[in-house]
Amino acid sequence: MWVILESTPDRVRFDEAGPDGTAEARGGFLEPGEEGRLAAMDGLSGVAHVLSHGGEAVRLPAQSVDGRLLREILDGTGFLPEESRRILERTVRLVEALPAARHLLLCDTAFFTALPEEAALYAVPHRFSRQGVRRYGGDGLLHEWVWRRTAVLMPGTRRLVSVGLGNRSNLAAIRDGKPMDTTVGFTPVEGLPSDTSSGDVDPTLIFQLSSRGHPMEEILEMLSRRSGFGGYCGRPTGLADLATGRGGTVEEARRIFLHALVKYVGAAISTLDGLDALAFASDCGAGAVELALEACGSLGFLGIRTAGLPVLREGAPALLSAPDSRVPVLFLPARRRQILYEQIQFSVKE
Amino acid sequence: MNILVFNCGSSSLTFKLYALGPGDRLEEILRGKGSRIGVKGDRPSSIEFRQAGRVSGGEARMDNHRQAAALVLDEIAARRLPVHAIGHRWPHSNGHFTTALIDEPLMRLLRELLPIIPIHHPASMRIILESRRRHPSIPQYVTTDMAFHATLPPEAYRYMLPRGLAEEHGFRKYGFHGLSFRYVTEKVRGELSPRRGGARLVICHLGTGGSEVAAVRDGLSVDVSMGYTGLPGLMMSTRCGDIDPLLPAWLSRTYDASFEEVSRLLNFQSGLLGVTEATSDIRDVLERCATEEGYRSRLALSMYVRSIRRYVGAFAAELRGVDTLVFTDDIGVKSPRIRSLVCAGMEWCGIRLDEERNGRATGEEEAHIEAPDSSMDILVVPTDEELVIAREGLGVIGGARACG
CATH of the domain at B14: 3.30.420.40
- Is the per-residue pLDDT at B370 higher than 50? yes
Task: Indicate which of A131, A184, A189, A205 best probes the interface with B, i.e. most B CBs within 10 Å of its own CB.
Answer: A205
- A24 pLDDT tier (thresholds 50, 70, 90): low
Residues B140, B221 within the same domain = no
Domain hosting residue B288, numbered range: 194-380
Q: Cβ of B247 and A202 within 8 Å?
A: no
Selected residues 251-270 of chain A with any CB under 8 Å from a CB in chain B: 252-253, 255-259, 262-270
- B403 pLDDT tier (thresholds 50, 70, 90): very low
- Is the per-residue pLDDT at B402 higher than 80? no
> Distance (Å) from the C-alpha of residue B317 to the closest C-alpha of chain A?
5
pTM: 0.93
Residues B142, B227 within the same domain = no
Model ipTM? 0.96
* CA distance linking residue A8 with residue A103, whole number of Å: 18
Q: Give a yes or no: residue B290 inside a domain.
A: yes
- B174 pLDDT tier (thresholds 50, 70, 90): very high
Residues B227, B246 within the same domain = yes
> Which carries the bigger pLDDT value, residue B17 or residue A8?
B17
Domain count, chain B: 2
Chain A residues whose beta carbon lies within 8 Å of the beta carbon of residue B307: 123
Residues 6 or more apart whose Cβ sits within 8 Å of residue B343: B325, B351, B352, B353, B358, B378
Selected residues 315-354 of chain B with any CB under 8 Å from a CB in chain A: 315-318, 320-321, 345-350
Residues B254, B106 within the same domain = no
Residues 6 or more apart whose Cβ sits within 8 Å of residue A306: A293, A296, A297, A320, A321, A322, A325, A329
Average pLDDT over residues A324-337: 95
- Is the per-residue pLDDT at A40 higher than 50? yes
- Is the per-residue pLDDT at B94 higher than 90? no
- Is the per-residue pLDDT at B400 higher than 60? no
Q: Give a yes or no: residue B104 inside a domain.
A: yes
Q: Give a yes or no: residue B179 inside a domain.
A: no
Residues B398, B358 within the same domain = no
Other beta carbons within 10 angstroms of residue B82's beta carbon come to 13
Average pLDDT over residues A149-154: 96
pLDDT digits (tens, 9 = 90+) for A61-86: 999 999 999 999 999 989 999 999 99
Residues B207, B146 within the same domain = no
Question: What is the predicted pLDDT for the residue at A315?
Answer: 81
Q: Give a yes or no: residue B118 inside a domain.
A: yes
Q: What is the mean pLDDT of chain B?
A: 93
pLDDT digits (tens, 9 = 90+) for A217-246: 999 999 999 999 999 999 999 999 999 888
Q: Which helix (H) or strand (E) holds A221?
A: helix A216-225
- Is the per-residue pLDDT at B390 higher than 90? yes
Chain A residues whose beta carbon lies within 8 Å of the beta carbon of residue B235: 123
Say yes or no: A273 contacts chain B, CB-CB below 8 A: yes
Q: Give a yes or no: residue B185 inside a domain.
A: no
Nearest residue of chain A to residue B222 (CA atoms):
A259
Question: What is the predicted pLDDT for the residue at B206?
Answer: 97
Are residues B15 and B29 in contact, defined by beta-carbon separation less than 8 angstroms? Answer: no
Q: Give a yes or no: residue B189 inside a domain.
A: no
Residues B278, B396 within the same domain = no
Residues B206, B243 within the same domain = yes
List residues of B with catalytic annotation: 145
Residues B116, B260 within the same domain = no
Q: Give a yes or no: residue B174 inside a domain.
A: no
Chain B residues whose beta carbon lies within 8 Å of the beta carbon of residue A267: 310-311, 313-314, 317
Q: Give a yes or no: residue B157 inside a domain.
A: no
pLDDT digits (tens, 9 = 90+) for A184-210: 999 999 999 999 999 999 999 999 999
Task: Indicate which of A82, A109, A115, A124 best probes the interface with B, i.e. most B CBs within 10 Å of its own CB.
Answer: A124
3-state secondary structure of A178: strand
CA-based nearest residue to B138, from B220, B227, B17, B32: B17
Of the candidates A122, A208, A256, the beta carbon closest to that of B243 is on A122
Residues B120, B232 within the same domain = no
Question: Could you tell me the CA-to-CA distances from B138 to B28, B132, B316 in Å, in that order?
Answer: 20, 8, 46
pLDDT digits (tens, 9 = 90+) for B262-286: 999 999 999 999 999 999 999 999 9
> Which carries the bigger pLDDT value, residue B191 or residue A295?
A295
Say yes or no: B34 contacts chain A, CB-CB below 8 A: no
Q: Cβ of B275 and A252 within 8 Å?
A: no
% pLDDT > 70, chain A: 98
- B401 pLDDT tier (thresholds 50, 70, 90): low
Q: Cβ of A222 and B162 within 8 Å?
A: yes
- Is the per-residue pLDDT at A299 higher than 60? yes
Residues 6 or more apart whose Cβ sits within 8 Å of residue B336: B358, B359, B361, B362
Q: Cβ of B313 and A204 within 8 Å?
A: no
Question: What is the predicted pLDDT for the residue at B364?
Answer: 82
Question: What is the predicted pLDDT for the residue at A274?
Answer: 97
